[in-house]
Structure 1
Amino acid sequence: MPNTGLTLDNVAIRREGRTLVEISDHVAPGDVLTVMGPSGSGKSTLLSYIIGTLDTGFEANGRVILNGTDITDLAPEARRVGILFQDELLFPHLSVGANLAFGLDASVTGRANRARHIEAALDDIGLGGFSDRDPDTLSGGQKARVALMRILLSGPRALLLDEPFSRLDTERRDQIRELVFEQARATGLPVLLVTHDHADADAAGGRVHRLT
């Protein structure tokens, strides 16, 4: 079993006797595995199993192994798996900087030090000086950048993408795709992308697992 990356070891998920997902694969650090399928095929259900929030109405078996550690039975908050959704889910009552501070790893201490980390993070995504902005004043693409960086600042060991590009217009979609995959490679995160869009899979590169 590899000591780095995300391994899905004979994962199978069923509901009412019907098998929705069967997958056994490994995603190396910086690589992307794309899971494709129509609505209702089990894509988001697989992500729920990986992050530990699968509804009790499903029956599942198989192991989720992250960097050599079996995390299958850990609480969601102990798994260190980040997930980016279709909606940015930014806190509307917090500034952009405060949204990032919410995700900032607890190991970064001291107000000035945390502020420096947040400003550096905003610079990395082309939003330098946006710390005091209200999230409602941001474009869709800018919100997506902030949501991504909030996840990365929390120090995840793997990144899951739940069709996060689907609500962006074509130009912004290309930009955010490039940013997400570039950041994942730079930080050495294994990425699992679920989508029904072939353009997402093409942009991700790597292997594609198809659900029916």
Structure 2
Amino acid sequence: MPELTAHELLTTTRSVRKRLDLERPVDPALVRDCLETALQAPSGSNAQRWHWLVLTDPEVRREVGALYRKSCRAYLESPHAAGRLYADDPQRSKVQARVNDSVAYLADRMGDVPVLVVPCLQLPSEELPEGNQAGLWGSILPAAWSYMLAARSRGLGTAWTTLHLRYEKEVAEVLGLPSNVRQAALIPTAHYTGDTFKPARRTPLSEVLHENGW
């Protein structure tokens, strides 16, 4: 894979769903290499309470995939589903429909993705602390995104999803997680088909930028 500039990497790391190669194995060393990069991310007070579950066992992936599919079906039927957003905007609704379709596609195949990565935080107690949730999750989300960027730079596709957390306890039982370990996301990881990614169309900065106040 050609080396990407920082700008290219940041603007072309997309959520890969339909283009994940479900047949091609992923070298475990490649995933470990990406996780080594992820460990360089910042965490609150430099606590580094993160843990990473790498799921490659077919039966474990199947069980997690089944729970993900169950949750995703409920999501797709809800008013918050991607395909129901911006229905009054003809251009944007087309994009949302494609996103909705790709989400449904992955939901039926999550258990077939060669590698599933679950970033977690180990907390001092079983309960989430009150108050500053941004500080808590800010200690794992940058590292998870670094993992996804590292994967992109090494020819792997990923997608960020948290839909499985509707059944967080059930997934935790499948994975044997201690009661004080909380999951942050589920990141399917695989080689991808095709060879092109481009920046996505986004809301113009002028519409979301606020200087010195709202």
Using structure 1 for the length normalisation, give the TM-score: 0.22
Using structure 2 for the length normalisation, give the TM-score: 0.22
More strand by share: 1
More helix by share: 2
More relative contact order, 1 or 2 (CA 8 Å, 6+ apart): 2
